[in-house]
Amino acid sequence: MLGPVILAASRSDKMRKIVSAAPVTKPVVNRFIPGETVDQVVPIVRELADKGLEITLDVVGEDITEVEQSYAARDAYLELIGRLKELKLGERAEMSVKLSMFGQALENGHELALANVRPVVEAAAAIGTTVTLDAEDHTTLDSMFAIHEELRKDFPQTGCVIQAYLFRTEDDARRLAANGSRVRIVKGAYKEPAEVAYQNKAEIDQAYVRILKILMEGSGYPMIGSHDPRLIAITQELARRAGRKLDEYEFQMLYGIRSEEHVRLAAEGHRMRVYTAYGTDWYGYFMRRLAEKPANLLFFVRSMITK
Ligand code: FAD
């Protein structure tokens, strides 16, 4: 019940101001977003790499209102890629980007987001890595998939994300599985209406499995973004049935969630990538993590009361 309320708050400017300003927020935020600057996140990347994990880095931010912010987002990623190059971490870390942070919702946003993301994809390719386009709310997806297709003409390794809760996703999965794309499949983290998305957990899980089958049987590279133990076991079985080797798909989980499982799967020989978000504009990302598990909210509220 709490999840939808928190997701609604994740889009509220008033709540953003209250939560971001509360001094007790910080330690709770740090569990999911381990730094605000490149300097703070680099040691984390090293630590994860030393544990045998791969990384995907997200400079947090979304729903910008000014064109200049979209240029700043592009530059933040270029700075990050420069640092990864210096530190020779390019082959261990890819980038995840939200096109709304690159200006997708502004005037001529589709063109603006494509123009901003292209140099990031180029810079990533130059250091031997790649970029995955995150999936945001359903109204943004046609533009995201078109940008993905455009980028793949020059950079076929560019990935994108699909969300099992949307009715459209099985068709998207078929198209992406047939054209050999890198695709991250997730359950979906936004508040979506019943006209476009399953609302019930069991239905979302069933859709996830149907989509997994499509991806495993296709010619692309499936990236399984989930912490759900049942889906992880099903993935292993479907990969075996499809004759996929361990390096022909990967698992992905979020930093701060089921960390022992990251290490366990990597030790079993799986490629395990940890989605690591950093930056100052963490509100939307943080609120989605609270919405996924109401116990996180209790922890957050308790820390406010006991301070
Ligand atoms: P759930 O059934 O929600 O969780 C399974 C178990 O995992 C829970 O029982 C709990 O033990 C643990 N768990 C899950 N979430 C949390 C949490 N927040 N805090 C503590 N424990 C938790 N969504 C998008 O819409 N677009 C994206 O681009 C996107 N990218 C993602 C990238 C990665 C690598 C991952 C892992 C997720 C991404 N998501 C994205 C979020 C996703 O849609 C889900 O909201 C999120 O993964 C929770 O679903 P789950 O599959 O882990 O299953």
- How crowded is the C-beta side of 262, counted as CA atoms within 13 Å? 22
Instruction: Among 2.40.420.20, 3.20.20.220, 3.40.50.1000, 3.40.50.300, name the CATH number for the domain at 34-281.
Output: 3.20.20.220
Q: How high is the pLDDT of residue 8? A: 81
Residues having CB closer than 6 A to ligand 1 are 134-135, 161, 163, 184, 186-190, 225-228, 252-254, 257-258, 275, 289, 292-293, 296
pLDDT classification of 16: cutoffs 50, 70, 90: confident
Closest CA to 160 of 115, 102, 214, 221: 221
**ipTM confidence:** 0.98
pLDDT classification of 297: cutoffs 50, 70, 90: confident
Q: Is the pLDDT of residue 78 over 60?
A: yes
Q: Are 110 and 147 in contact (CB under 8 A)?
A: yes
Which residues are marked as active site? 134, 184
Ligand 1 centroid from CA 187, angstroms = 7
In angstroms, the CA 64 to CA 77 distance is 16
**Most informative mutation of 95, 226, 261, 273 for ligand 1 (most atoms within 8 A of CB):** 226
**Most informative mutation of 56, 228, 271, 297 for ligand 1 (most atoms within 8 A of CB):** 228
For 238, the token pair is: 């479907």
Q: How high is the pLDDT of residue 304? A: 62
Query: Mean per-residue pLDDT for 254-258?
Result: 96
Ligand 1 centroid from CA 165, angstroms = 12
Q: How high is the pLDDT of residue 262? A: 98
